[in-house]
Structure 1
Amino acid sequence: MTEAQTGHRTVPDGDEAEAERGRPNRWKVVFVTLLVVGALGAVTWVLLGSRLLVVRHVEVSGTELAPRDRVVAAAGIDLGTPMARLRTGAVRERVERLREVESAKIERHWPGTVRIVVREREPVAVFDRNGRYQLLDRHGVTVADAESRPAGLPALTVASPGPSDKATLAALTVLAALPERLSGKLAEVEATGPEAVTLHMQGGQTVVWGAAERAGEKIRLLDALRRTAGGRAVRTVDISSPEVLKTS
């Protein structure tokens, strides 16, 4: 009888052996797949659903002006939050809203510690506002207030100090460009406009700086004048146009 008449298909011996070998291989694939899925599920549960890897401690470093408690409060990190779910970008943005903070970095330290590394704004000048002293950084941001004049910072004299005031930014740009040999002798930096910056030195000398541009040329002029003047007192120096040096 033929295969069609009997309704059965005869499998050659070689094919039958190969089919038998394929069945356990398929079971191995299924088993390994289930094992991987189970492992991934367990890892996901440990990271997101269990109490094993949650925030237990918040550390703060790099602060002097901003109290640690204010930084922690601004960060808004809830203890018990799964470490993997912590939105470090949002935490960083909240910390950087503090006026003392220029930048912040949020670090996860497993299994349960979050570290906030703060870079604070550095005061470079002081502004007298009705008997209270505002400490400003290089961007014109008020970093802190004080009741007494802090030592070591030059006074800033402008009409409306702030990060959006062009006169303030011009004065602070000049201040940042000064080498230590000049900034250490500076008593006051005054700006009536973005192109009208004047330096008042501790010895009483006045330097009419002008615009903030061409700082390198102006500094070289001041150094050359100091060398050539010897012990002669020069009360006023006008270097607003470096091509024409004026003294009196």
Structure 2
Amino acid sequence: MLFRGRRGEGEAYPEKEGVRETPGTVAGEPSRGRTLRGAKPVSGRASRGRSERKRRRRAKGTEGEVLAAGGVKVSYPGDTATRMADQGARVARRAGVGERKNKGRAPLAEEVGEGKRGGRGVGPRGRVRMLLAALLVASLGAMVWVYFFTDTLNVRQVEIYGNCNLDPDYLRSISGVTPRTHLLKMDVKAVEKAVLSEPYVLRVEVRRRFPHTVVLKVVERTPIGYLVQNGRFHLVDREGLVLESKDQRGELPEITGLEMPLLYPGTRIEDPRLQGLAAILAEWPEDNGVRVKEAGYAEGEGYYLLVEGTRVIFGDQSDCRRKAEIALATIQEVAPRYGGLRYVDVTYPDHPAIRPR
């Protein structure tokens, strides 16, 4: 049987059992024109009328189907379906769906206004982020201006810790820190150098404590005795540094027998025998009720101490702790038997020698 259809005139369409092909259809595929054997065929005019009735029902508000994202059909009322279809089309255009199909056509008004994601303007979230960034930059700028170019962080207090012999006001004055000093601009190294210029200061730690305080932690040198020169008494530490000059004697022992330059605060005595005297004085037991009045070096005797009128001869500075303990025990226990001792010689600690008065 020959029909006129899509395959052209004169081409044969094979018939299947129970299926009769009509013109305009493809064998084996569903179509409006295909009918089962024995069924009444539907004319083209009836088909067009049915389509027109469906379109009118959608327009009146009957349920319609919208192709949503992902190819899923969702049913909505007619007017809603129309809006949803338009929205779905816009979403598809933004995502690139149908781009090949719509290639070359003029853009819609909503596409011109909104554009694709890469080319559209800054949204509400972007504007909020830009506003927050601007506020952050402005705040940082204001903080920098306040902290660096105003007196908000000027120093109002200088706290001193660790001082025993030095007056706090004196340390504040030599530190160079004033009420006009800015806490952040303060040169810490310069403050340390200024405080270390005082001979009594062995080391110092400078700290900032916001918002208005500078803290100075001082470690002072300890004097071991004094040297007499030109009627003044010059205190020295174990390193031979002159710490202070006084007009009166103190309770510290007098140091004698050394070669001395002109003494004033800050002068350093280079005589190595001072180190030996410092070691002996450091090993002498404290809080024993026996006061050392003098410490020196004499030719033929070596190092010696003058303790409660008794001369204690050490010889050299070796084993000075043991020598000091033996000498102290001899003075406290033996001296009362003889009414006092002229000297105690502990040059050889295993065989000490004494001479009564």
Q: Offset at 1:237?
A: 2.3
Amino acid at match of 1:147: D
Change (3 A) 1:222 1:50: same
Q: Distance in 2 between matches of 1:181 and 1:242?
A: 22
**Which has more helix, going by share of residues?**
1
Change (3 A) 1:67 1:228: closer
Change (3 A) 1:42 1:177: farther
C-alpha deviations, 1:117-136, integer Å up to 9, x for none?
Answer: 54443433111113221112
Q: Offset at 1:145?
A: 1.2
Amino acid at match of 2:285: P
Q: Offset at 1:72?
A: 3.6
Match of 2:133 among 23, 27, 33: 33
Q: Distance in 2 between matches of 1:212 and 1:41?
A: 66
Tell me the matched-pair count: 239
Structure 1 unaligned segments of length 5 or more: list them: none
C-alpha deviations, 1:24-63, integer Å up to 9, x for none?
Answer: 4444444443333333333222221222111245455666
Is 1:156 aligned to 2:255, yes or no?
yes
TM value normalised by structure 1? 0.75
Change (3 A) 1:24 1:227: same
Is 1:177 aligned to 2:276, yes or no?
no
Q: Offset at 1:86?
A: 1.1
8 Å CA contact retained: 1:198, 1:210: yes
Change (3 A) 1:126 1:223: closer
Is 1:6 aligned to 2:112, yes or no?
no
1:44 match: secondary structure: helix
Q: Offset at 1:184?
A: 4.1
Q: Offset at 1:8?
A: 6.3
8 Å CA contact retained: 2:290, 2:307: no
1:144 match: secondary structure: strand
Q: CA RMSD in A?
A: 3.6
Is 1:200 aligned to 2:306, yes or no?
yes
Match of 1:239 among 333, 346, 351: 346
Residue matched to 1:142: 242
Match of 1:216 among 313, 316, 321: 321
Matches within 5 A, 1:58-137: 58=158, 65-66=165-166, 70-137=170-237
C-alpha deviations, 1:59-115, integer Å up to 9, x for none?
Answer: 556667545565344222243222111122320221111123333343445433435
Amino acid at match of 2:193: E
C-alpha deviations, 1:120-166, integer Å up to 9, x for none?
Answer: 4343311111322111233322121122323x111101323545431
Amino acid at match of 2:347: S
Q: Offset at 1:197?
A: 1.8
Change (3 A) 1:100 1:227: closer
1:197 match: secondary structure: strand
Bigger RCO (CA 8 Å, 6+ sep): 1
8 Å CA contact retained: 2:316, 2:347: yes
8 Å CA contact retained: 2:290, 2:308: no
Change (3 A) 1:90 1:213: farther
Change (3 A) 1:45 1:158: farther
Runs of 4+ residues deviating >6 angstroms: none
Match of 1:190 among 292, 296, 301: 296
TM value normalised by structure 2? 0.55
Change (3 A) 1:207 1:3: farther
My pick for the range that moved more, 93-102 or 226-235, is 226-235
Q: Offset at 1:186?
A: 0.9
Residue matched to 2:142: 42
Q: Distance in 1 between matches of 2:244 and 2:210?
A: 35
Q: Distance in 2 between matches of 1:47 and 1:88?
A: 18
Work out which of the two has the higher radius of gyration on C-alpha atoms and give 1 or 2: 2
Could you tell me the percent identity over the aligned residues?
Answer: 24
